[in-house]
Amino acid sequence: MSDVLNKNFINGVWQDATAGAVFKDINPAIHSDVIGHFPESGVEDVDDAVRAARAAFRAWSKMPAPARGDILRRIGDILTERKSELAFQMTREMGKPFFETKGDVQEAIDTAYYAASETRRLFGHTVPSEMPNKFNMSIRRPIGVCGVITAWNFPVAVPTWKMFPALAAGNTVVFKPSEDAPHSGALLVKVFEDAGVPAGVVNLVHGSSTAGRALVEHPDVDAVSFTGSTETGSKIGEACGRLHKRFSLEMGGKNPMIVLADADLDLVLDGLLWGAFGTTGQRCTATSRLIVHEDVHDALVNKLIEAASKLTLGYGNEDSTEMGPVINQKGLDKIEYYVGVGKEEGATVALGGKRAVGNGLDDGYFYEPTIFTGVTPNMRIAKEEIFGPVLSVLKIRSYEEAIQVANNIQYGLSSAIYTRDIATAFNAMHDIEAGITYVNGPTIGAEAHMPFGGVKGTGNGHREGGWEVFEFYTETKTVYVDYSGKLQKAQIDNVED
């Protein structure tokens, strides 16, 4: 096998796509660095993978959950050993700096140990019966075969948010990573193999929308978990609705950071640089709107422009790099398009607004940290997701106005408020329409054991991470045990008048 793991993994065997088609995977910071060619899987490959997952389901689901937990713990151990090696390859493939990809692997490690610990709980309920000598309980059952379709920006963490709880609960998996991060996906699946996950329990199919659609529409896939664009998520939701499948969608965001007049501006500045420009703004949780009180607007914006203009852009595997490239040409085009829209709408480019060139950046998809000031709530750059290093600054005069502006979007993933006033902070926890609110921290940085997900157009009500994700990956079975030795009709069937 070459040093690049560029195959599908089906029923425990690394293999090419049946039709032999491939797609190219390059380093977004250095285009001449070709990582490899990966299988462009078709319907037959997906079918093989789903059949393998179905065949493996019975034995895996019957294994005692804590034994599955032992395997998850081994996965966590191997991820720990390989953290730097994996992070290097992830940075090479999707661009964010090495310190960030190490964090990405760490998130997977935390999720592995957390999911392993849940295998000793997976609680159901026991409740009193209406009848004597009768016992009522609910237990959790796995759903079956789960299709996992993910984005490239957290190429290890996000797939594991889905796969670890799915496996812990006794499901089997077919995983289709993003076509922009196939190598990271394969390296992750190699960890499953090396940890002793039985053949067929986790299968990998690379590819684009053809493979994705085949997975979603396959009659033997019981549930689909997706992270990615709103456009694709909507199509998946439609298909799953039609086919009566359970589905979890994690889509876009336009996450606000509210800064009130009493905020600690140095703390805000650190949070903004990280929230808006970490991962080159390519997180669904990225801080993309700064909603700032007029009393501190100018002071904060000036500090921010100065600090953001000093960020070092480059290849993420170089130590000096603070901000990596955008993922691909399409991503870059989208950013350029929205910067044009912002200018036309009358906002002011206070920093950036163009591709970053020179200093060794010409061979990559680099874009300057960009700040728009004078943004008003109904502009498109205040409402639509750009997925890049572009921050829209909106000025407000009161807490009430801040909340109105913050909620004036179709999305509702993450949010932040900076204030020293505890009552205002507690009000904001209820008033901001979002699945996540940070107080005095930026909009990014979820912890593995906490529920993660959004309201409104961001998702469909499910959560990843934490204990709530187990609701998605399990079915409730209700069990009645009658040990009275006679037919006891339920109260509803036993009414006398």
Contacts of 293 (CB under 8 A, 6+ apart): 259, 260, 261, 395, 396, 397, 398, 402
283 interacts with ligand UN1 by CB under 6 A = yes
Nearer residue to ligand UN1 within complex by CB, 172 or 443 = 443
Contacts of 87 (CB under 8 A, 6+ apart): 98, 101, 102, 104, 105
**Region 138-157 residues binding ligand UN1, contact defined as CB under 6 A:** 153-154
- Assess whether 400 carries a catalytic annotation: no
Taking 3-state DSSP, the helix, strand and coil percentages for the chain, each rounded to the nearest 5, stand at 40, 20, 40
441 interacts with ligand UN1 by CB under 6 A = no
Binding letters toward ligand UN1, positions 211-230, x by CB under 6 A: ----------------x---
Least distance in Å: CB of 443 to ligand UN1?
A: 7
Least distance in Å: CB of 247 to ligand UN1?
A: 17
**Region 458-477 residues binding ligand UN1, contact defined as CB under 6 A:** none
Nearer residue to ligand UN1 within complex by CB, 66 or 445 = 445
**Region 47-106 residues binding ligand UN1, contact defined as CB under 6 A:** none
Q: In 3-state terms, what secondary structure has residue 183?
A: helix
285 interacts with ligand UN1 by CB under 6 A = yes
- Cα-Cα-Cα-Cα dihedral sign, residues 327, 413, 104, 237: negative
Span of 21-29, 238-246, 279-287, 395-403 interacting with ligand UN1 by CB under 6 A: 279-287
Nearer residue to ligand UN1 within complex by CB, 86 or 284 = 284
User: Tokens 């380093």 appear where?
Assistant: 27
Least distance in Å: CB of 459 to ligand UN1?
A: 11
Nearer residue to ligand UN1 within complex by CB, 57 or 387 = 387
254 interacts with ligand UN1 by CB under 6 A = no
How far apart are the C-alpha atoms of 52 and 366, rounded to whole Å?
A: 41
Q: In 3-state terms, what secondary structure has residue 277?
A: helix
Binding letters toward ligand UN1, positions 179-218, x by CB under 6 A: ----------------------------------------
Contacts of 234 (CB under 8 A, 6+ apart): none
Sheet holding 255-259, edge to edge: 348-351, 370-373, 390-396, 287-293, 255-259, 416-418, 438-439
- Assess whether 146 carries a catalytic annotation: no
Nearer residue to ligand UN1 within complex by CB, 10 or 108 = 108
Q: Which residue of 12, 124, 360, 445 would you call a contact of ligand UN1, by CB under 6 A?
A: 445
Nearer residue to ligand UN1 within complex by CB, 285 or 460 = 285
Catalytic residue among 284, 384, 385, 464: 284
Indicate the residue type of 22: V
Cβ atoms of residues 393 and 295 within 8 Å: no
DSSP 359: T
DSSP string, 385-449: ---SSEEEEEEESSHHHHHHHHT-SS--S--EEE-S-HHHHHHHHHHS-SS--EESS-S----TT
Catalytic residue among 40, 250, 385, 464: 250
Least distance in Å: CB of 453 to ligand UN1?
A: 10
Binding residue count for ligand UN1, defined by CB under 6 A: 11
Tokens for 74, please give them.
């081994």
Q: How many CB atoms lie within 10 A of CB 334?
A: 17
255 interacts with ligand UN1 by CB under 6 A = no
Least distance in Å: CB of 157 to ligand UN1?
A: 6
How many Cα atoms within 13 Å fall on the side-chain side of residue 196? Answer: 10
Least distance in Å: CB of 412 to ligand UN1?
A: 14
Least distance in Å: CB of 451 to ligand UN1?
A: 12
Q: Which residue of 53, 284, 332, 393 would you call a contact of ligand UN1, by CB under 6 A?
A: 284
Cβ atoms of residues 119 and 66 within 8 Å: yes
How far apart are the C-alpha atoms of 222 and 105, rounded to whole Å?
A: 28
Nearer residue to ligand UN1 within complex by CB, 387 or 399 = 387
Report the 3 state secondary structure along 371-401: EEECCCCCCHHHHCCCCCCEEEEEEECCHHH
Least distance in Å: CB of 449 to ligand UN1?
A: 12
Q: Which residue of 181, 356, 444, 469 would you call a contact of ligand UN1, by CB under 6 A?
A: 444
Nearer residue to ligand UN1 within complex by CB, 31 or 456 = 456
Contacts with ligand UN1, residue ranges (CB under 6 A):
107, 153-154, 158, 227, 283-285, 444-446
As annotated, the active-site residues are: 250, 284
